[in-house]
Amino acid sequence: MILAPSILSADFANIQRDVEMINDSAADWFHIDIMDGVFVPNISFGFPVLKAIKAYAKKPLDVHLMIVQPERYIKEFRDAGADHLYVHIEACTHLHRTLQEIKKHGMKAGVAINPHTNVSLMEDVLPLTDLVCMMSVNPGFGGQKFIEGTYKKIKDLKQLITKMSAPTLIEIDGGVDLDNVHKLIAAGADILVAGNTVFSSKNPVETIATLKQVKVTA
């Protein structure tokens, strides 16, 4: 299981400290949410903060765009340090073209889907999709309650990936905690994003290690 702590829950007054904490932990990636106040009812940060994180990060930047017209900024996000770039299926009119452009610029191409979006809509773009970020809360804010229907969606998407022999990995974003991590992995999740669970704990490094140690046996 790949673990990607969400920087949205970090202490922005001490961002270097928190980035270096993740560097020194068992976490695999940094998950970074970019919000524009249009696609979602919140605004996070843009290129200057992303570049500042990249300056200290020693692990890949997993960048999730919750913005309208994401295709306008693909090169800029690559230049700012993104290693993986997700665009929302609900925000892209020409999704094939956008995924091709992401790959052209040397990044892993990801598609994010909202809780109400049926995974069957991914079928036509799976051959181009390295990563699917399945939202298990409504996007825009951290600390929300996990949507229980996510488990079935993971299983449905995993079946589709297997049927098409696609290399796509499934990422779960929202409400991931120590209580549901076992079920998420058992359902077929490959990557887990954890924000509040990590950064609100008394010992984030220890919490990351605990999450990484979770194993599901048949």
Query: Which active-site residues does the annotation give?
Result: 33, 173
Name the 3-class secondary structure at 80: helix
Name the 3-class secondary structure at 92: coil
H/E stretch holding 14 reads: none
Distance of CA 207 to the CA centre of its chain: 19
What span, in angstroms and rounded, lies between the C-alpha atoms of 173 and 113? 10
What span, in angstroms and rounded, lies between the C-alpha atoms of 177 and 146? 9
Q: Could you tell me the sign of the dihedral formed by the alpha carbons of 77, 23, 40, 124, in that order?
A: positive
